[in-house]
Amino acid sequence: MARVLLVEDDELLAEMLANVLMDAGHAVGVIANGEDALRSIVARQPDLVVLDGHLPGMHGVNILEQLRLHPELWRMPVLMLTASTGRLDEQIALHAGANAYLRKPCDPDYLLFRVDDMLAFRSQLDDSRRVERRVF
């Protein structure tokens, strides 16, 4: 089980995605606006963030950029979820540090696959760092 923070302003979509993630065994928190998002991420330190691209108060990419500058949380896995269909938006998000980029409407199974994949990768990375620390 992982703690997933969902930053999404569409209440119906947020609740639906939260149900999908909870059914898969994850604990889910939901934040509806950009201004609260970064503060909440810092305070709650989730295992993974699902971040909407367009939020009231702040663009998702701006939140991502701030997160990547944070001294402790810069490695946090972030999946950007956006209704934008433009290729440029995807490039901007990935360049800003998104670990994955999904377009709405997204397939619930694929969302879960990406979430689990990102969590597994993060876990392997943490394991290898622990080994490195023991060896060196």
Partner 1 sequence: MSQPSHNLASPGSWAPAPAAPGSNLVARFEERRRDTMQLLEAFSAADCHDEARFAELLHRLHKFAGVAGLFGERVLGELAARAELELREAAPAERAERVMALKSAVRVQGAV
**Residues contributing to the site for partner 1 (CB under 8 A):** 3, 9-20, 22, 27-33, 35-36, 40, 43-44, 56-57, 83, 85-86, 103-108
**CA distance linking residue 23 with residue 12, whole number of Å:** 17
Six token digits for residue 81? 């979820």
Nearer to partner 1, 17 or 118 (CB): 17
**CA distance linking residue 119 with residue 105, whole number of Å:** 22
Nearer to partner 1, 15 or 116 (CB): 15
> In this structure, are residues 79 and 51 in contact, taking their beta carbons and an 8 Å threshold?
yes
Which of 32, 30, 40, 48 has its CA nearest to residue 99?
Answer: 48
Nearer to partner 1, 56 or 121 (CB): 56
Provide, rounded to whole angstroms, the least separation between the CB of residue 2 and partner 1: 10
Provide, rounded to whole angstroms, the least separation between the CB of residue 43 and partner 1: 8
Provide, rounded to whole angstroms, the least separation between the CB of residue 125 and partner 1: 23
Nearer to partner 1, 1 or 131 (CB): 1
**CA distance linking residue 99 with residue 8, whole number of Å:** 17
Provide, rounded to whole angstroms, the least separation between the CB of residue 120 and partner 1: 20
**CA distance linking residue 92 with residue 114, whole number of Å:** 19
